[in-house]
Amino acid sequence: MKSVNGTSSDPSGHPPEGSGAPDLKGLFRRSARGDETAFGELYDATAARVHGLVLRVVRDPAQSEEVTQECFLEVWRTASRFDPDRGSPLSWLMTIAHRRAVDRVRSAEASSRRDSTYHDESQPVDHDSTAEAATTAIEAKRVRLAMQSLTEAQREALELAYFGGYTHTEVASMLDLPVGTAKTRIRDGLIRLRDTLGVAQ
């Protein structure tokens, strides 16, 4: 596969630079057919956002660059799996990026734990911590299931704001929305999520 770090010009006759936001769905469809030019355009249009999300999670610039490249390699290999009826291209990309970033953090943490095994083995088992971790895992599963009750617009905004760690202004910019609209989607999504989970106000 050729490098995607070149220019974003498109010799195939697609809209030139300055003609507005790129057609991400179209670029996904073309990439799924093996169109490297389309994939290059997709990379140019989204790499900065993907890297920004990864950096927020991983916090290490060098590793963030690696994870970002891994994300786009996965996109290149699996673009045909993208279903526009289930969400936007950006949301799909950010989901991949967040998963990859979290996996890298967990891998680093696991490595650190292996390095300090001798210390861990000398400590008594903390049953309270174990119970708390189990409870947290159960709650996380409930939240993921509850997210399915949201509208696509609400879910997309919440994923960026809470999984991605973006501010309301950044979410608005990424989704090409007025800030007030982004805030409303996030607020309404939280209200619906709270109601679904049965959380008291």
Q: What is the CATH number of the domain that holds 105?
A: 1.10.1740.10
From residue 127, alpha-carbon distances to 19, 56, 121, 123, 132 in Å are 60, 32, 15, 12, 9
Q: Is the dihedral angle over the CA atoms 143, 145, 146, 149 positive or is it negative?
A: positive
Place of tokens 């290490």: 60
Transcribe 140-169 into DSSP letters: HHHHHHHHTTS-HHHHHHHIIIIIS---HH
pTM: 0.51
Determine, yes or no, domain membership for 79.
yes
- Same domain membership, residue 140 and residue 84: no
| Per-residue pLDDT at 88 exceeds 80 | yes
What is the domain count for the chain?
Answer: 2
- Same domain membership, residue 159 and residue 111: no
Domain that holds residue 73: 21-116
- Same domain membership, residue 104 and residue 38: yes
159: domain CATH number?
1.10.10.10
pLDDT tens-digit series, residues 10-40:
443 344 444 467 899 999 999 999 999 999 9
Decide which of 116, 147, 179 is a domain's last residue.
116
